[in-house]
Structure 1
Amino acid sequence: MEVEIISKECIKPSSPTPPNLRTHKLSLLDQIDAAAHFPLIIFYPMNQSTSHAAVDNFFQRSQLLKQSLSEVLTRFYVFAGTIKDNLSIDCNDKGVYYLEARVNCRLVDCLSQPNLPSFEKFIPRDYTWKETGAGDDHVAMIKVTSFTCGGMAIGILVSHMIADGTSLNIFLKGWAAMARKACDEAVYPNFDAPSIFPQNVACLREEASFMSFCRPFLKLGKFTTRRIVFDASAITSLKAKATSKSVQNPTRVEVVSALLWKCIMAASNQKSGIQSQGPTFITLSVNLRGRAAPPLPESSIGNLYWRAGALCTPEEMELAYMVSKLREAITNVSPGFVKGLQGDGGFHKLCEHVKAMAGACSSATNSCGMDYIGFTSWCNFGVYDIDFGWGKPVWVSCIGLNEDLDLRFPSTIALMDTRSVGGIEAWLYLDKEVMAILAQDKEILALGSWDPSPIN
C-alpha cells in the first residue's frame, strides 16, 4: 500500500493569538510526561448521500476540514504553536502541519484484513517543522488521506508535552463541531492547569520523576503490536467472574485490564522458563479532572492524569483479586490526592508519591526481577461520535503508540471503545515472544478475538 503525498501546508488560526497569550507554561504534570507525540487515526467511509465523484468529495471534505481547523485554532491556540523548550510552548501561530495524501485502494480493502504496520503511513510521523523551514517542533500534525472509494483517514499526532488523551478528544470534538457549524456544541478549552499545578524547574533534574521510576523497565528489543477485541457479552462474562465482596460492580476497564495483566504474567513466566517468576507492577492512567474537589472543567487541557499503580505476584493471579487491587489503586487517586499535587507544594508531594511506588516495587522484587505493564484507557471518550458533517467513523485506531521512544516499555496496552456499544478493543505493544505465547492463551481465546476486521 503506497501513500502519495499531494500537498503540505501549515493551517494557522483564523485570528492571531493575543500577545498576552503568546507563551504557555507547562504544568507540573506536563513536565513529568514523555516528550513524545501520540497518534490517532479516524477512518470515515464515503458519504453515500452525495453524488459527487470520489476526488471531488475528498476535495470538498478537505477544504471544510482546513477551514474549520483554522477557525477552531483561535480557541485551541496552543495547538498551533511550537515547542519552545522543556518548560513552555511558543504560541506563535505557526500553525498545525497539515498533509493531504491519497492511497490507491478502497477503504474496505484496507480494513478487511488490517495490516497494522502499514497504518503508520496514515500518520504524519516523519514530518517536522524542520522540513518546512520553520525550525522548531510543532505541537500538532494532521494527515488526511483519501481512498479511491471516497473514504478517508484522518491521522493526528499531538505532543504529549501539552496534551493527554482527554485533551486530544476535546480538541477533536471542538474541531468537528466547528466543521458542522454546531454552535450549541461549541467547545471552549480551559488552559488553567499551569496555575493549578505550577511547574517546578527542579523537576527537570529530579531523579524522583515518574520517567526516572520507569527507567529500569525501559529496554530495547523486538516488539510487536496486535489487537484483541472483547465484545459486550464477553465483558459481561468477565464481570461475573471478577465480582467479589470488595468489588461488587467492576467496570469493563478493570476486568479487561486484570485479565490481560494476569495472562501477560503467565506468558512472561512461560517465556522465562523459571518456576518462580517475580511480581508484575502495572499502572493505569486515571483522569484527575473529575476527581479533584471541586472538579476541574472537563475541557481542561494538559496532562491531567495520574498513573495509579498496583503490584501482583504469581501466587495472587486470580481475576477477582487482581480487580480488587486495581480498584484500590484507582480509589487512592482521591480528591485529597489531587489536592496535594496543587500549589507550590505539589512538586514535593509528587516526588513522595513516585518514591513510594518505587519503594513498593523494590521491596517486592526478588532475584527473578520484576515486570511492568503500562495501561491507558480511552474508553468513554466518545471517539465514535466525532462527526465533521459526513457521519460517524467506521473505525478509530491508535496504531503507533510509543513508536517515537528509543527506549520502549516492555508492555504497553491502550484500551479503546469498539464501534458496537459495550465492547473494548485492546491494543497490545509487547515483546514478540511474549505476544506469541499470549496468542495461544485459552482464556483469552475463549473471550476475545485477535486482530478481527473492524468493518465486519
Structure 2
Amino acid sequence: MAGRIKDHLSIDCNDEGAYYVEARVNHPLREFLNHTDSSYVSQLLPAGATWTATTAGGYIAMIQVTTFACGGISLGAFLSHIIFDGPAATTFISSWAALTRKCGEEAGSPNFDASFVFPQSVAYPREATLSALFSPFLKKGICRSMRIVFDALAIDLLKVKTASSSVRDPTRVEVVSALLCKCIMATFKAKSGIQKSTLITHAVNLRQRAVPQFSKHSMGNFLCMAAALVRANKTGLDNLVCHLRKAIRKIDIDLITALQGDGGWLKYCECIKEIGKASHGTNDKIDLIVFSSWCNMGVYEIDFGWGKPTWVACAPKTKSKIEMVNMIFLMDSKMGNGIEAWVYLEEQHMAMLEQNQELLAFGILEQSPLNLIVS
C-alpha cells in the first residue's frame, strides 16, 4: 500500500509511501452536512483520484484529511481496486484507526494470504485482469449521481410488499435493489420507447461464503459477480427480488471451491466472461444495472479517537465522463437499519428517475445527513 502500480498485474513494493495531504476549510462542518446536494463530497477526496486509476507509477492509497473551522474532520480515501475491494478497504481503515487509538488488538490486521487461496499463475492472461473482466459491465457516458435514502420504515414496507412464497423473508439489500431496478427499467423504457430485458449484477463477497470461511480481513478482491437476466415482461417487485436471490445463491460452496487452487483463475474467468456475453446482446437488446453493496461492513464503527463517524459517503463524480453509468452503490445509514443508495445514471435518465412516483413513495432524494442523524 506504500508502493506504486507497476503494471496491470503487479505492484512495486518500493515503500515510497502513500499519498497524504491535509486541507483546511474556513467553514464549519455542519454547514456542509446541511447541504442536500452531496456533490461537494468529491472535494473531500485527494485531487486526481479516480475510480479506475491503474497507470504505471500510480499510488495504491491516496488520503486527504480535511479540517473544518469548527474542528470537525473528514477523512477522504481513494484505495486502488487493484488490491482493495470494499471489505479490504474497511479492514485497512479500521486497522489504521485502531492503531491511532493505540488499541491495535481491537482490530484485525490486514491479511495478505490471498495467494495461498488463489495461487498466482504465469499463464494468467491480460484479458482476465479485474478491469478487463469487468469491462463488459462498465459503460462510459456523461453521468450524474444522486443519493437516495431509504429509512427503516420504508424498507419494512418494501419487505411486506415483496415477500412471496419464493422469498419469504427478503433482506433490505434485496428489496432496495429490486425497487431501484424496477424504477430504472421504467426510466429506460420511457426514454427508448422499448422495454428491453435487463441484466442485473451484484458483487458478492466470497469471504463469509467459503467453508471454512476466509479471513474477513483478507486483502484483495474476494469478489464474484451474481447476475440475473430479467425479461421485459417480468418486472414486478416480487419477481425481481426472487431473481436477485437466486443469482446470489448460485455463488455457493461448490463454486467457491472450484475457484481455488491452480485452475481456479480459469474458472473465475469463465464465470465472468459468461456474464459479459449476456450483457452484450446483439443490436443493444439488453440493458444493464450494476450493484455493489457496502452494507454490514461496519464502516460506522471506525473510530480514530474522535468518536464514530457522523456520516460515511461514497463520493460522487457529477457530470463527468467516467465508466460508472448505470451503477449503484448501497451504503448503511447511520442508524444501521436504513440504506443510502448512490445512483449513477446518464443525465437524461436521472432527470426521469427523480420524478418516478413509485421511487418517491419509499425513498428520499438527497436528504441532509444531519436530518438523518436527528431522525
TM-based fold match above 0.5: yes
Which amino acid letter does the alignment assign opposite residue 200 of structure 2? I
Change (3 A) 1:295 1:213: closer
CA drift of 1:402 comes to: 11
Partner of 1:110: 32
* Counterpart among 429, 435, 438 of residue 344 in structure 2: 429
- Asked if structure 1 preserves the Cα contact closer than 8 Å seen for 2:26 and 2:68, the reply is yes
Q: Deviations over 1:217-259 (max 9, x none)?
A: 5444221011000000100011111111111111100110111
**Count of matched residue positions in the alignment of Structure 1 and Structure 2:** 366
Q: Deviations over 1:27-54 (max 9, x none)?
A: xxxxxxxxxxxxxxxxxxxxxxxxxxxx
CA drift of 1:400 comes to: 3.4
CA drift of 1:316 comes to: 0.3
Matched, 1:330 2:253: no
Partner of 1:63: none
CA distance in 1, matches of 2:328, 2:266: 29
Change (3 A) 1:89 1:220: closer
Bigger Rg, structure 1 or 2 = 1
CA distance in 2, matches of 1:127, 1:325: 35
CA distance in 2, matches of 1:95, 1:285: 30
| Secondary structure in structure 2 of the residue aligned to 1:108 | helix
* Counterpart among 376, 385, 395 of residue 301 in structure 2: 385
Partner of 1:410: 325
| Secondary structure in structure 2 of the residue aligned to 1:137 | coil
CA drift of 1:354 comes to: 2.4
CA distance in 2, matches of 1:176, 1:360: 42
The unaligned stretches of length 5 or more in structure 1 are 1-78, 129-134
Partner of 1:143: 64
Partner of 1:372: 288
Written as runs of structure 1 = structure 2, the 5 A alignment for 1:295-374 is 295-361=213-279, 365=281, 367=283, 369-374=285-290
Which amino acid letter does the alignment assign opposite residue 27 of structure 2? C
Written as runs of structure 1 = structure 2, the 5 A alignment for 1:169-184 is 169-184=90-105
Change (3 A) 1:144 1:331: same
| Secondary structure in structure 1 of the residue aligned to 2:217 | coil
| Secondary structure in structure 2 of the residue aligned to 1:222 | strand
Matched, 1:286 2:208: no
Written as runs of structure 1 = structure 2, the 5 A alignment for 1:30-429 is 79-126=1-48, 136-206=57-127, 211-212=131-132, 214-215=134-135, 218-272=138-192, 274=193, 276-361=194-279, 365=281, 367=283, 369-400=285-316, 408-429=323-344
- Asked if structure 2 preserves the Cα contact closer than 8 Å seen for 1:221 and 1:431, the reply is yes
Q: Deviations over 1:84-118 (max 9, x none)?
A: 22222222222221111101211111110144333
Q: Deviations over 1:23-80 (max 9, x none)?
A: xxxxxxxxxxxxxxxxxxxxxxxxxxxxxxxxxxxxxxxxxxxxxxxxxxxxxxxx22
Q: Deviations over 1:183-230 (max 9, x none)?
A: 440422211112211234544433x66755654554442210110000
| Secondary structure in structure 1 of the residue aligned to 2:312 | strand
Matched, 1:443 2:358: yes
Which amino acid letter does the alignment assign opposite residue 412 of structure 1? M
Change (3 A) 1:312 1:153: same
| Secondary structure in structure 2 of the residue aligned to 1:259 | helix
Taking structure 1 as the reference length, what is the TM-score of the superposition? Answer: 0.76
CA distance in 1, matches of 2:137, 2:80: 23
| Secondary structure in structure 2 of the residue aligned to 1:228 | strand
Change (3 A) 1:375 1:248: same
- Asked if structure 1 preserves the Cα contact closer than 8 Å seen for 2:9 and 2:129, the reply is no
CA distance in 1, matches of 2:254, 2:318: 31
The unaligned stretches of length 5 or more in structure 2 are 51-55
CA distance in 2, matches of 1:453, 1:268: 28
CA distance in 1, matches of 2:125, 2:352: 39
Change (3 A) 1:391 1:250: same
- Asked if structure 2 preserves the Cα contact closer than 8 Å seen for 1:80 and 1:94, the reply is yes
CA distance in 2, matches of 1:402, 1:298: 33
State the Cα RMSD in Å.
2.3
Taking structure 2 as the reference length, what is the TM-score of the superposition? Answer: 0.91
CA distance in 2, matches of 1:82, 1:431: 33
Which amino acid letter does the alignment assign opposite residue 213 of structure 2? P
- Asked if structure 2 preserves the Cα contact closer than 8 Å seen for 1:103 and 1:147, the reply is yes
- Asked if structure 2 preserves the Cα contact closer than 8 Å seen for 1:373 and 1:409, the reply is no
CA distance in 2, matches of 1:337, 1:442: 40
Which amino acid letter does the alignment assign opposite residue 172 of structure 2? R
